[in-house]
Chains A and B, each alone.
Chain A
Amino acid sequence: MTTRYRNDPAALRALVRDAEVHRDTYTDPEIFALEMQRLFANTWVYVGHDSQVAKPGDYFGTTIGTQPVLMVRHDDDTIHVLYNRCPHKGTRITTDICGNTGRFFRCPYHGWSFRTDGSIAVLPLPTGYQNETFATSQATQGLSPVRHVQNYRGFVFAKMAAGGPDFEEFFGESLSSIDNMVDRSPAGKLEVAGGVLRYMHNCNWKMLVDNQTDTCHPMVAHMSSAGTAIELWKRAGEQTPRPMAVEIYAPFMASYEFFEKMGIRTWENGHGHTGVHHSIHSNYTAVPGYFEQMVAAYGEPRAKAILDENRHNTIYFPNLMVKGPIQLLRLFKPLAADRTLVESWTFRLVGAPDFLLERTLVYNRLINAPTSVVGHDDLEMYERAQEGLHADANPWVSLHRLFEPGEPARAVDNGTTERQMRNQFRAWARYMAPGE
């Protein structure tokens, strides 16, 4: 691996221009390594949902950037995030994705045991460790904790490094998208439900993040899938009721004008969302009984306000996307410069009809599964880009669409702007080349 960038902040800053970015941001292994150290360590990264660890001792194994971690509920009901590594020989403590460990984690190699806050409970043959060198070693930490953990209405985020902004400062008003998703439950509560779809992508993680607010691709890239769905339905005579698949696919073929008017909102620190005024999720069939439950819980004006908010995709920089109206979350897990694991998680609105979860699961399967025709359309484009970027003639990726010099971070703009992509890269550059 080269070290062109590590000690050269000017070179890093030069990768991000006003409205274009250098291909190295997507292809260079050194950039990827620096992203793990500077971006993923210093930002608040989504870990998991607290419903995945409902009871003390429940744990969930995942990664922050490329770091293996465990989210666990301690016996005082607080949620801890621990590095998944025994302080002795480095053995991963758990390999199941989730489970209940009781009051202790026990390393399967030599039996070192830890409380669910990570502290050491038992060392076998403890007299062997009565030496000063051990007492001052990092091993005494037990399972090293990720120090900064925040549970926001069930969504657990962590920041690995000591520096960087605090949680509220980092996310600011963008938390309103999570609020809207949670508020859609008459009980004000979500539960992870249905199972996670995991789709391996041979491309850089940022291509997926860029795509979430790219409203000029659906009518082109998804002509093959969404366009065919509409065509088949027409051929069948447009019988009513319209199949759920058509209800879900058809908006992907909406006009440029639809997406222009949909709007994009950007916030500080790289966050933003599509679907300010309406979105592809605005016209789903009403679910019997749900609105009445919402009115009973919130009163009619508030219930209407919650359900009239139909944000499309909200980016929580760096690598999370949330879809409030369909209760879905996608996490773009970086594995290498050219490899990304996409996890698509679904939620039950506690107290709402089962049909809402059923529709969410259909949406997830039709759009985000490795067997999804829409997924095939997108992945083909990412992988072609990952290869195409090796062409030396032009090393720049264009983000020029509707660029205005001096544009501020906070704005509501035409829905087809690439402003949110620019917003992400401006935040990216601040973390990658600090001290600007």
Chain B
Amino acid sequence: MITQDDLISFVYREARLLDEQRFDDWIDLFAPDGRYWMPLEYGQTDRRLTASLMDDDLFLLRLRVERLKGNRTYSQKPKSRCHHVLQQPQVDVFDSGSNRYIVWTSIHYVESRQDHQDLYAAWTTHDLTEIDGALRIRLKRVDLVNCDAAFGSIQLFL
């Protein structure tokens, strides 16, 4: 039986897996048809005919994770590190009847490499579902506060 605390703990744990660079464990949090979406526009609703910064299915997420490990991944020599600060996640939808849970979280995210460090502010929305007794991500939406700004490389995951 999923509780509100389970949902909140899930979001905290997801951020910790990313901070600890346990990317394989992180990908396991996604449902088989799960997606990671980072819109390009403020309040964007369309993913198909409007560009996004990221719109990854599991294939593309695995590609990123495998690439991060690669011996010829020169943009990760040396490797980047990341750091998430989360406000307490807020449960917006708790619908065990339709097995749908939506959690909204305000975050600060730091990505660093060598002498360089970038700070991003964002709101994340986790669309979660229970599969075989465990919560899984159907859609993780990451809305950067400055989504329409010009960025340098963002190599890890908010």
Contact = CB atoms under 8 A, between A and B. Distances in A.
Contact of B74 (A198, A227, A371, A380): A380
Contacts of A369: 51, 53-54
Contacts of B151: 198-200, 370-371
Interface stretch (A157-165, A259-267, A272-280, A356-364): A356-364
Contact of B75 (A193, A197, A364, A380): A380
Contacts of A357: 49
A354 interface: yes
A329 B155 CA distance: 24
Given A224-B70, A369-B54, A371-B38, A200 B152 contact: yes
B74 A229 contact: no
A241 interface: no
Given A223-B72, A224-B72, A225-B67, A376 B49 contact: no
A377 B74 contact: yes
A297 interface: no
B49 A364 contact: no
B59 to A, nearest CB: 6
A185 interface: no
Contacts, number: 102
Main secondary structure on A side of the interface with B? helix
A49 to B, nearest CB: 16
A194 interface: yes
A228 B60 contact: no
Interface in B113-158: 148-155
A232 B66 contact: yes
Nearest to B148: A198
B63 interface: yes
B63 A228 contact: yes
B142 to A, nearest CB: 10
B49 A361 contact: yes
- Interface residues on chain B, size class: 20 to 34
A354 B59 CA distance: 24
A193 B49 contact: yes
A232 B57 CA distance: 13
B46 to A, nearest CB: 10
Interface in B30-72: 38, 40-41, 48-55, 59-60, 62-64, 66-67, 70, 72
Specify which of A221, A224, A231, A341 lies most central, judged by the most chain B CB atoms within 10 Å of its CB: A224
A381 B74 CA distance: 8
A197 B155 contact: no
Contacts of B38: 371
A371 B66 contact: no
A243 interface: yes
A375 interface: yes
A245 interface: yes
B72 A195 contact: no
A233 B149 CA distance: 33
B73 interface: yes
Contact of A365 (B51, B75, B152, B153): B51
List the 7 shortest-distance A-B pairs measured between CB atoms, nearest first.
A380-B75, A198-B150, A370-B151, A224-B73, A195-B51, A376-B75, A200-B150
Given A198-B148, A369-B53, 18 more contacts: A195-B51, A196-B51, A198-B150, A199-B152, A221-B74, A224-B67, A224-B70, A224-B72, A224-B75, A232-B59, A245-B63, A358-B49, A361-B48, A365-B51, A365-B54, A369-B54, A370-B53, A384-B74
12 contacts: A193-B49, A194-B50, A196-B51, A199-B150, A224-B72, A224-B74, A228-B67, A229-B63, A231-B66, A232-B63, A358-B49, A373-B63
